[in-house]
Structure 1
Amino acid sequence: MPREIITIQVGQCGNQIGMEFWKQLCPEHGIGKDGVLEDFATQGGDRKDVFFYQADDQHYIPRALLMDLEPRGINGIQNSEHRNLYNHENIFVSEHGGGAGNNWANGYHQGEQVVDDIMDMVDREADGSDSLEGFVLCHSIAGGTGSGMGSYLLETLNEQYSKKLVQTYSVFPNQMETSDVVVQPYNSLLTLKRLTLNADCVVVLDNTALNRIAVERLHLTNPTFAQTNSLVSTVMSASTTTLRYPRYMNNDLVGLLASLIPTPRCHFLMTGYTPLMVERQVNMIRKTTVLDVMRRLLQTKNIMVSSYARTKEASQAKYISILNIIQGDVDPTQVHESLQRIRERKLVNFIEWGPASIQVALSRKSPYVQTTHRVRLLFVPTLSFFNMIISCLTLSLSLSLSLSLSLSRAHTCTGKERKRKHRAHHCLS
């Protein structure tokens, strides 16, 4: 029996990456833009019910909730070519329509006011599931709605659905550029506390790294939001492929996370994916092997968290765990030989107190999507954690080397704002 997952998209960023996610999932399951199953999509052996359900007229509807405090992002989805895909009863826009003003406290307070309407939508979707496994939250930690309202929603889900998994795809701000939002560091740190306490798994996606990968690997001069969001949707799709096209192992979300998260608080994960392509590069095909894709993703420049990619501390980082999700027709013997060569060359540095092994999950490819490469791989590591005190949160956080550097930059930005005597009361409710 498939274990259903409900996707919750909060704020402009969350709805944009969520829309790209559904645009990618539909072709992989042979579902058209209006939710109607294509005539050829009958023998795929896939689990559509994990992320979709069928309406009375047999068309497929995503198990998705779309919510925002301003109508702009939602209107873009409702005017797109996928506007008939979603259940319009699962779309929430604040009656005031003024948004959160990029203020965490404002978004949190408005979330508290509308939580009954939102939880009615969540309960309705949960009641329509046969065996609900958990929730996936898509949001940004830098704005007002995704951070503030998303934080309140995390607390509510943790309270009312304490036995269900909550996984987030959290987009971190670009640390290399000065933001127009002066309270962005406060938004990030306040959201981080809720992610630490209320989420079971946080997949960190760094805007800095996404832009760097788009420029250096995809050779895009000025990557658009749609192009960087497509990188996020690729990771989301690949990370759920074993749930949707199951084999004999890792057929549910808890099985995937069990090998990655040794203790409940060590749940901040990074990702890398190869090969990445855009439409105009369809003729630039190279040969892919299991060893090739594994070695590529051990290079820090291919990780979608950029804070330690080019620092001397990168060589000192130790892995707690690694999960490789391999898509394609792969001989298990090739996987074993590739892992053996990686061990012999000592390409991976693991912690001393844990099992020094790379977990591998083999996944089938969608028969409805023609891929140009034989092997594709999603790399999900958990790095060694260093203790770090974030004073303004009054919370001791154990974070990986890469994440601690990313967060220390956010903390530094907060310190700069305080030195400038910025009016912190704008961030307090």
Structure 2
Amino acid sequence: MSGGVMESVARPPPGVAVGGGGGATGQKAKERCEYHFQMPLHYPSKEGILEDFATQGGDRKDVFFYQADDQHYVPRALLMDLEPRVINGIQNSEYQNLYNPENVFIANHGGGAGNNWASGYHQRASNVVVELARFPQFKMFAPGQQFKVFRVFITLWERILGKQYEEDLMDMIDREADGSDSLEGFVLCHSIAGGTGSGMGSYLLETLNDRYSKKLVQTYSVFPNQNETSDVVVQPYNSLLTLKRLTLNADCVVVLDNTSLNRIAVERLHITNPSFTQTNSLVSTVMSASTTTLRYPGYMNNDLVGLLASLIPTPRCHFLMTGYTPLTVERHASVIRKTTVLDVMRRLLQTKNIMVSSCARTKEASQAKYISILNIIQGEVDPTQVHESLQRIRERKLVNFIEWGPASIQVALSRKSPYVQTAHRVSGLMLASHTGIRHLFSKCLSQYEKLRKRQAFLDNYRNHPMFADNDLSEFDESRDIIESLVDEYKACESPDYIKWGMEDPDHVLTGEGSASGTVDPKLTV
């Protein structure tokens, strides 16, 4: 999107949803992140036909839709998965006539990635090796020779089929990008724990960053629940390998932590056993609210660059945590309090409303600081109320900011959607960069180290060329990058962060950009 005013004809980024359902833990149920969550489907019907009452809404329907030749609205979204179950469910649902079938990718083998990052990265069927082992001719080989045959077969499979899939994926992305008047970037929805969302998502991040190097790449990334035992035993491996790509190849990552989402559902919404639908509802609330200023634009924060530029002062610290209030699962939930701007902004700063579990009540976590904050306030709000609320928050010292940057809360005002009835007069979303998020990454590293120390489940990865001949350098490099990321977030808490990384080059992360406090040129406005 190039324009900065309401009359701009610029187009926001296409959405890419990667991964599907699967796995007893339900992590992959989050991978689907059906993009219609983010789109205001209250004004086009479920077949994309604009309702009469929606013609005077004053919103920009072209943000997440385009009009086909027959004038019905089509989501500007791509759905990609290596197994058909979830996408088939969407195509057989009430939204079956909404999506462009040319923007749906399902691997021909339909075998999924088997919760294996490497399988998803190479778009390989997880059941190919199993099928190969059933051939009588294969059993004639000695065990050592069987492993070599596996390697040769998989390499040939990935080169032939992987190339075909790469061309199909890029054709879909290029076609959607070419249909934009002024492409600004891409939005990727995925999980980091399973196989497709993590592996295929990583592949797309690298490809988009290389193919569209000057365009923004924003992700909504679902992190696994780290307080419960997962059926995906290689979850720490998948998370670590994906975190490397999120660090090096994404411009903004909105972290959606399943640990915190479940806690909020239990403690704040009083749901004993939250279902996937209910936690998905929390995710959809964040995604919808974060795009409000794009769909109902004003004079500021009406494009993706303007929205993110002030939130990400340094290129590597681009992981954002969110908070939302008031939270309700049911749209017409009973109202028990009067919402005001001060009440909303104060609650957004409370740990119990933050959707990242890194803000633990520990001594070390209490020293964490905000790098930047943007509050998106929806409703009929007087700007003077915002000024008074900010002054009250400052007087009460409710926020602990870094010392080397501007210590202020930015506020974007947006009117509420006229198509959705809500029980509250004022609601708010907080997008924040916070040094405490490093504790979430440290947990991922800790879980990885426990598995790696036992050399557990590594054979699942050695079957792929990237890890062939027992080459595990990809794991080591990913660990080093995440450790450097944790160190940088910790360094942000010191007043002399601007000088950090200049004296010791080992602290600077590998890849493009620097860690010395420079602003990503793609976020310059």
- Given that 2:322 and 2:430 are in contact with CA atoms closer than 8 Å, whether structure 1 keeps it comes out as yes
**1:153 aligned partner:** 204
Instruction: Please say if 1:4 is aligned against 2:12.
Output: yes
Deviations 1:184-239 (A, max 9, x none): 10000000000011100000010000011111111111111111011111101100
Alpha-carbon distance, 1:310 to partner? 3.2
**2:41 aligned partner:** 26
- Given that 1:4 and 1:130 are in contact with CA atoms closer than 8 Å, whether structure 2 keeps it comes out as no
**1:424 aligned partner:** 458
Deviations 1:236-271 (A, max 9, x none): 110010011001111100001011000111100000
Alpha-carbon distance, 1:65 to partner? 0.2
- Given that 1:2 and 1:49 are in contact with CA atoms closer than 8 Å, whether structure 2 keeps it comes out as no
Does the residue aligned with 1:58 lie in a helix, a strand or coil?
Answer: coil
Bigger Cα displacement from structure 2, 419-428 vs 57-66? 419-428
Does the residue aligned with 1:203 lie in a helix, a strand or coil?
Answer: strand
**1:369 aligned partner:** 420
Inter-partner Cα distance in structure 1 for 2:385 and 2:365: 28
Choose 1 or 2 for highest CA Rg: 2
Inter-partner Cα distance in structure 1 for 2:457 and 2:293: 48
Bigger Cα displacement from structure 2, 364-373 vs 101-110? 364-373
Say which of 73, 81, 89 aligns to 2:94: 81
Instruction: Please say if 1:38 is aligned against 2:51.
Output: yes
**1:16 aligned partner:** 32
Deviations 1:260-298 (A, max 9, x none): 000111100000001111227622342100000111111
Does the residue aligned with 2:33 lie in a helix, a strand or coil?
Answer: helix
Alpha-carbon distance, 1:127 to partner? 1.2
* Alignment CA distance shift 1:193-1:11 (3 Å): same
2:123 partner letter: Q
Could you list the structure 1 runs, at least 4 aligned residues long, displaced by more than 4 angstroms after superposition: none
Alpha-carbon distance, 1:42 to partner? 0.9
Inter-partner Cα distance in structure 2 for 1:220 and 1:152: 37
Inter-partner Cα distance in structure 2 for 1:77 and 1:312: 46
**1:110 aligned partner:** 123
- Given that 1:183 and 1:427 are in contact with CA atoms closer than 8 Å, whether structure 2 keeps it comes out as no
CA RMSD of superposed structures (Å): 1.5
2:303 partner letter: D
**1:395 aligned partner:** none
Alpha-carbon distance, 1:133 to partner? 1.1
Number of equivalent positions? 409
* Alignment CA distance shift 1:132-1:14 (3 Å): farther
Inter-partner Cα distance in structure 1 for 2:413 and 2:198: 34
Report 1:30-179 matches (<5 A).
Answer: 30-110=43-123, 112-113=162-163, 114-179=165-230
More strand by share: 1
- Given that 2:48 and 2:73 are in contact with CA atoms closer than 8 Å, whether structure 1 keeps it comes out as yes
2:105 partner letter: F
Alpha-carbon distance, 1:177 to partner? 0.7
- Given that 1:18 and 1:233 are in contact with CA atoms closer than 8 Å, whether structure 2 keeps it comes out as no
**1:282 aligned partner:** 333
Does the residue aligned with 1:359 lie in a helix, a strand or coil?
Answer: strand
Gaps of 5+ in 2: 1-8, 21-28, 125-161, 465-525
**1:269 aligned partner:** 320
Inter-partner Cα distance in structure 2 for 1:9 and 1:308: 28
- Given that 2:31 and 2:197 are in contact with CA atoms closer than 8 Å, whether structure 1 keeps it comes out as no
- Given that 2:32 and 2:86 are in contact with CA atoms closer than 8 Å, whether structure 1 keeps it comes out as yes
Instruction: Please say if 1:358 is aligned against 2:366.
Output: no
Alpha-carbon distance, 1:421 to partner? 3.1
Deviations 1:42-85 (A, max 9, x none): 11111111110001111100000001000011111111111111
Alpha-carbon distance, 1:314 to partner? 3.2
- Given that 1:3 and 1:50 are in contact with CA atoms closer than 8 Å, whether structure 2 keeps it comes out as yes
- Given that 1:115 and 1:153 are in contact with CA atoms closer than 8 Å, whether structure 2 keeps it comes out as no
Instruction: Please say if 1:339 is aligned against 2:390.
Output: yes
* Alignment CA distance shift 1:19-1:77 (3 Å): farther
Alpha-carbon distance, 1:405 to partner? 1.4
2:32 partner letter: Q
* Alignment CA distance shift 1:340-1:280 (3 Å): closer
2:119 partner letter: N
Gaps of 5+ in 1: 384-399
- Given that 1:20 and 1:230 are in contact with CA atoms closer than 8 Å, whether structure 2 keeps it comes out as no
Inter-partner Cα distance in structure 2 for 1:308 and 1:324: 18
Inter-partner Cα distance in structure 2 for 1:135 and 1:62: 14
- Given that 2:192 and 2:198 are in contact with CA atoms closer than 8 Å, whether structure 1 keeps it comes out as yes
Inter-partner Cα distance in structure 1 for 2:285 and 2:461: 34
